[in-house]
Chain A
Amino acid sequence: MARELWKGNEALAEAAVRAGAEAFFGYPITPQTELLEYMARRMPELGRTFLQAESEIAAIHMVYGAACAGVRALSSSSSPGISLMQEGLSYLAGSEVPCVLVDIMRGGPGLGNIQPSQSDYFQLTRSAGHGDFHPLVLAPSTVQEAVDLMYASFDLAFGWRTLVILAGDGTLGQMMEPVEMPPMRALAVERPDWALTGAAGRSPRVISSLYLDAAELEQSNLRLQAKLQQMAATQQRWESFCVEDADYLVVAFGTVARIAQSAVRAARRAGIRVGLFRPVTLWPYPRQPLDAICPQLRGVLVVEMNGGQMVEDVRCVVRERVPVRFLGHLGGVIPMPDEIEAELAQLVSLSGRAAFS
């Protein structure tokens, strides 16, 4: 199929449709609204469910309900809306019901603004709701990758009975790029063996996150933890660029990673042996592959559109082996390649003196 220009939000929506999404529930919020708008037109056209809920809280609970029936359901929102959804996300996690959620992040805290941001990193990877769990968090950096990850996300969600969150930012949602859309999949006809499909001819099934007995709840949690450990061991995704001979490494995700790639190319032309490490999964964080690069490095630069969130994961991996510098912009300001280059030059001069920042 030929490549076509797609806007990020609409491409995500079409990819979900092609991946077999049967129901979408959501509530509009910039800079994600085109996803919902597209679904409002596209889902009914295919005889599938689109419903604009009265709030994000309602939307995520509708997703929960549909997903309990084994339906491939999704929602999408942007930062403040994700905060509202946290109760539902925790219930989904507690009852191990799979679903897909898109967060097209904007500046915060509070209402913040509608400009691009990556400041939901902690929220998505550490505290998507109360209780002990992590969603699987995927962070595409191009519209094509957003499509590919969305296409894979329902299989991941249902395979692991987990919440999958696609974390983009306003830039990814609003920009247009060439995309090759994957083929349309047939809708699932069989429901999973845990789904609530009516108990005709079988004993009833119960989906709940309520365990009043402490020992029972601990057992449920331990099962969940074991699954998360297995996911952490097998689901790390990442991409590296020019790392083979790199003395220095830039670590960035999503939109910032592609901006950093321009900076890495320019710094290479200026003679700095620098590479780029881009986590694709924010949880589980690709610790092993990053750790494997560390011994050859003299310094690391982390760039994010937040006050320094992923940098904590990077420091956990790098430890005190080499200096880790951080460049961040907040509130919707987007870092530019030239300032990343300038930071790199700083890093080179500092680590040349074997100084730890």
Chain B
Amino acid sequence: METSIVVSGFGGQGALLAGQLLAHAALASGLEVTWIPSYGPEMRGGTAHCTVVVGDEPIGAPLVRHPECVVALNLPSVDKYEPLVAAGGLLVYDSTLVQRPVERVDLCAVAVPASEVAQRFGSPRLANLVLLGALLALRPVVTLEAMGAALRDHLPERHADLLQNNLEALHAGAALGKG
């Protein structure tokens, strides 16, 4: 059993970090995992995405054409991945920044006002954690506890003072995902 998750957004929104945290949580949960970033001549404000594949057997392809889950932090990411999400898949997106509706009906689109919620916890940069929380509420690839532990263990040291805000953003997102 394998699950593929793409996290995509503008450079600086924490798409790559959110994917890495998910990968850390998967490994700590005894699962096999790969994480691979888009890398290229990219800059702040450009798009950045990563693919995380989680499974109970060693992962073959670390990249997928049609991911089962997509976390989209901005409009270009929804534009890019709406056509690519696997049929029956999940598209979780920041509805504060993406104001157009998702047109496909053969997937589960979940609008989460992530930037707005994140602002309540002190920074719109926590939108990645809000969306990750919503994703995990709907597809519990790892538990929220494992995700919280990954945050504690792997949040970059320079952001250590933001751990509590990150955890709250994660849980707020999970509550919205369930709702």
Q: Chain A: residues with CB nearer than 8 A to chain B?
A: 3-5, 30-31, 114-115, 142, 170-171, 174-178, 255, 258-263, 265, 334, 336-338
Assess whether B171 is interfacial by the CB under 8 Å rule: no
Q: Pick from A175, A178, A265: contact of B62, CB below 8 A.
A: A175
Interface centre among B32, B39, B61, B62 (most CB of A within 10 A): B61
Cβ contacts under 8 Å, B41 to chain A: 114
Complex CA distance for A259 and B36, rounded to whole angstroms: 14
Interface residues on B, range: 20 to 34
Identity of the chain A residue whose Cβ is nearest the Cβ of B60 in the assembled complex:
A262
Contact B27 A5 (CB under 8 A): yes
Which B residues form the contact surface with A (CB < 8 A)? 20, 23-24, 27, 32-37, 39-41, 58-65
* CB-CB nearest in chain A for B154: A5
Contacts of B39 in A (CB 8 A): 30-31, 114, 170, 174
* Contact, CB under 8 Å: A176 / B36: yes
User: Of all chain B residues, which has the CB nearest A141?
Assistant: B60
- Which chain B residues border A115 with CB–CB below 8 Å? 40
Is the CB–CB distance between A336 and B64 below 8 Å?
Answer: yes
Instruction: Say whether, besides A5-B35, A174-B36, A258 and B62 are in contact (CB < 8 Å).
Output: yes
Chain A hits for B58, CB < 8 A: 142
Chain B residues contacting A336 (CB-CB under 8 Å) are 61, 63-65
**A337 engages B23 (CB within 8 Å):** no
For residue A30, which residues in chain B have a CB less than 8 angstroms away from its CB?
39
Contacts of B24 in A (CB 8 A): 5
Residues of A contacting B33 with CB < 8 Å? 5, 177-178
Roughly how many angstroms separate A334 CA and B38 CA in the complex, as a whole number?
12
Whether the pair B35, A175 counts as a contact (CB closer than 8 A) is yes
A337 touches B61 (CB 8 A): yes
Identify 13 residue pairs between A and B in the complex whose beta-carbon atoms are under 8 Å apart, listed by A's number. A5-B33, A31-B39, A171-B63, A175-B34, A175-B35, A175-B36, A175-B37, A176-B36, A177-B33, A260-B60, A261-B60, A336-B61, A336-B64
| A178–B27 touching, CB < 8 Å | yes
Closest to A340 in B: B61
Residue of B nearest to A3 (CB): B27
Query: Residues of B contacting A258 with CB < 8 Å?
Result: 59-62
Separation of A142 and B62 alpha carbons in the complex (Å): 10
> What is the bound-complex CA distance between A178 and B33, given in angstroms?
7
Q: Are B23 and A176 in contact (CB under 8 A)?
A: yes
Most A CB within 10 A of own CB, among B20, B34, B62, B64: B62
| Distance to closest chain A CB from B93 (angstroms) | 24
Task: Report the Cα distance A177→B35, complex, angstroms.
Answer: 7
Q: Tell me the smallest distance from the CB of B33 to a CB of chain A, in Å.
A: 7
Q: Is the CB of B20 within 8 A of A176?
A: yes
Q: Kindly provide the distance from the CB of B59 to the nearest chain A CB, expressed in whole angstroms.
A: 8
Q: Note all chain A residues with C-beta closer than 8 A to B36.
A: 171, 174-176
CA distance A289 to B1 in the complex (A): 31
Cα–Cα distance between A259 and B60 once the two chains are bound (Å): 5
Q: How far is the CA of A28 from the CA of B60 in the complex (A)?
A: 29
Instruction: Decide: A171 and B23 in contact? CB cutoff 8 A.
Output: no
- Centre residue among A170, A175, A263 by max chain B CB count within 10 A: A175
Nearest Cβ on chain B to A220's Cβ, whole angstroms: 44
Q: Are A259 and B27 in contact (CB under 8 A)?
A: no
A334 — nearest CB in chain B belongs to which residue?
B63
In Å, the complex CA distance between A176 and B34 comes to: 6
Closest residue of chain A to B39 (Cβ to Cβ) is A174
Name which of B34, B40, B59, B60 has the most chain A CB atoms within 10 A of its CB: B60
- Chain B: which residue is nearest A259 at the CB level? B61
Q: Is the CB of B32 within 8 A of A178?
A: yes
Contact assessment for B34 and A177 in the assembled complex, using a CB-CB cutoff below 8 Å: yes
Closest 5 CB pairs of A and B: A262-B60, A175-B36, A176-B35, A261-B60, A259-B61
Taken together as a complex, chains A and B put the C-alpha atoms of A5 and B37 apart, in Å, by 14
Please give the distance in Å from A219's CB to the nearest CB on chain B: 48
A55 to B125, CA, bound (A): 39
Once the chains bind, are B37 and A174 in contact (CB under 8 Å)? yes
In the complex, what residue of chain B is closest to A114 when comparing beta carbons?
Answer: B40
Closest chain A residue, CB of each to CB of B31:
A178
Cβ-defined contact, B65 with A338, below 8 A: yes
Give Cα distance in the complex from A338 to B64, angstroms: 9
Q: Select the residue from A171, A178, A259, A260 with max chain B CB neighbours within 10 A.
A: A178
User: Contacts of A178 on B, CB cut-off 8 Å?
Assistant: 27, 32-33
